Structure 1
Amino acid sequence: MTSAERYFDITGRKALVTGSSRGIGYSLARGLAQAGVELAVHGRHAEGARAAAQRLAQETGAQVHAVSFDVTDPDSVAEGVAQTVEDLGGLDILVNNAGIQRRHAFTEFPVDEWNEVIATNLSSAFLVSQQAAKVFVAQRRGKIINIGSVQSQLARPSITPYSASKGGIVMLTKGLCADLGPQGVQANALAPGYFKTELTKTLVEDEQFTAWVTGRTPAARWGDVDDLVGTLLFLASPASDFVNGQTIYVDGGMTAVV
């Protein structure tokens, strides 16, 4: 291994990726597994998490565990992270990916759905990071990677709670940097643009919406999930040991232009 390769070597590290039984979370988990990380695939439902873990292990040959807990419930999070640490024999990397989307006109947005979005997209990252940080601080090493969005910086109609939650991720990341940086922990955010997944299939097939995405994005295309892996591995590796509190937009340039 060359000295340059060592900067990005995370072989044998232990990782938890929340919301990773499908979609972007699954792709992020796969990228870590391909880099030699032993990881825990997480989902709210145990059956789905187990199926995803089994599929990922078959695809990559990596050691993959399944864990299921409610990311919005403090007691469930504490138990779930403790179980993950036990299963993996430690923890080095946390990816806070769990999230949901709800759409309504602002004046008609149900308060319970506002609370649901904020709890799942933002409060969960606080809760899971808090538990993981206890491990990281004790070992004076750890990587927290929060998943933001272009909506961390840009807003669109009908998704105000989502935009608020993803904007909050940016400042949560900075706060984690302030609190945990002196203990050797790095917290950064990866903010995707518009990506093709099974969850966005309907939007991709909408010719009008796809025309808007490709016209608004300097790269002139939807993102492929593999486009996220390089930045993820950078943030998870020793290469980013002096990068802290930052949000990196992987969006084909969308947030850079008007």
Structure 2
Amino acid sequence: MTDAASSPRPPFRLDGRVALVTGAGRGLGFEMAKALALAGARVAINGRDAARLDDAAARITEAARHPVRALPFDVADMAAGREAIAGLARDEGRLDILVNNVGARDRRPLSDFTPTEAERLIATDLLAPMMLAREAAAHMAAHRHGRLITVTSIAGHVANRHDPVYTAAKAGLTGLMRALAVDHAREGITSNAIAPGMFATETNEGLVRDARFSEFVDIRVPVGRWGRPHEIGAAAVFLASDEASFVNGHVLTVDGGQTVRM
């Protein structure tokens, strides 16, 4: 039996590991993919916009100095996801890390949702990561090593007004992560989550420029600012690394202390 202490691999290095990061064309997904690649992993990134994805892959490749692969597909398309994971594992000979990062936003009161709209959001935010994790775990089990990393949200633990479907989906992801941690641990696969708080991503650009909302951030977040997108990368590297081999079923909250403030 080997462990992190007896391994010749330098701490927090991912050389020889193969990773897939969904929703990595921009924002937090891009930063996590970049961090994994800089740590030595062979990374594939996913998104629906092929041109944006190619540009992101090129930028990460330049930074990491080894190729990053673009895999354009819609995670809600179960057949496409299964085919992409199988192809990546076949081409690379293995799959070690899945970062389930894709998440759609539709923040409205429950009374405004039709059943079809609610099903669509849950299909993208909960069902798609569930099925991708299932496919990835099957390939990881063959090598007795894997890291399932689910990007949830602090919305899975604390609720905003008029945001029930998104909140339910994120809370469901936390439950899924814990169930996978129990089901796959004996196969050498750990399952953990990252719960980001408020980050100054492209998606939040309008709020970042809003002076009134920035005042709210200053009051609500103990560190007094938005998260910088690159600050999420180290969390993904840690959970993907050998140093996290005994971390299983855990939610790593990266929110500047927002969820612990009264």
Class of the TM-score when normalised by the shorter of the 2 chains: over 0.9
Tell me whether 1:245 sits opposite 2:254 in the alignment: no
- Alpha-carbon distance in structure 1 between the residues aligned to 2:69 and 2:51: 12
- Alpha-carbon distance in structure 2 between the residues aligned to 1:184 and 1:86: 20
2:40 paired residue number:
36
- Alpha-carbon distance in structure 1 between the residues aligned to 2:141 and 2:91: 20
Flag structure 1 segments of 5+ consecutive residues without an equivalent.
none
* From 101, 125, 129, the counterpart of 1:121: 125
2:55 paired residue number:
51
2:114 paired residue number:
110
Tell me whether 1:236 sits opposite 2:240 in the alignment: yes
Q: Which deviations, in whole Å up to 9, do the C-alpha atoms of 1:193-229 show, x marking residues without a partner?
A: 0000111100111111121122111111110112212
* From 82, 88, 99, the counterpart of 2:86: 82
Q: Does the CA contact (< 8 Å) of 2:94 and 2:140 recur in 1?
A: no
The secondary structure found in structure 2 opposite 1:198 is: coil
Tell me whether 1:222 sits opposite 2:229 in the alignment: no
The secondary structure found in structure 2 opposite 1:168 is: helix
State how 1:140-219 maps to structure 2 within 5 Å.
140-219=144-223
- Alpha-carbon distance in structure 2 between the residues aligned to 1:88 and 1:48: 23
2:20 paired residue number:
16
* From 96, 103, 121, the counterpart of 2:100: 96
1:61 paired residue number:
65
- Alpha-carbon distance in structure 2 between the residues aligned to 1:177 and 1:14: 20
- Alpha-carbon distance in structure 2 between the residues aligned to 1:99 and 1:150: 13
Deviation at 1:231, TM superposition (A): 1.6
Aligned length: 257
The one-letter code of the counterpart of 2:43 is L
The one-letter code of the counterpart of 2:97 is I
The secondary structure found in structure 2 opposite 1:199 is: coil
- Alpha-carbon distance in structure 1 between the residues aligned to 2:33 and 2:188: 24
The secondary structure found in structure 1 opposite 2:118 is: helix
Flag structure 2 segments of 5+ consecutive residues without an equivalent.
none
The secondary structure found in structure 2 opposite 1:133 is: helix
- Alpha-carbon distance in structure 2 between the residues aligned to 1:189 and 1:77: 20
The secondary structure found in structure 1 opposite 2:89 is: helix
Q: Does the CA contact (< 8 Å) of 2:94 and 2:143 recur in 1?
A: no
- Alpha-carbon distance in structure 1 between the residues aligned to 2:190 and 2:199: 26
TM-score, normalised to structure 1, is 0.94
- Alpha-carbon distance in structure 2 between the residues aligned to 1:257 and 1:88: 44
Q: Does the CA contact (< 8 Å) of 2:19 and 2:98 recur in 1?
A: yes
Deviation at 1:37, TM superposition (A): 1.1
RMSD: 1.7
Give aligned-pair identity as a percent. 37
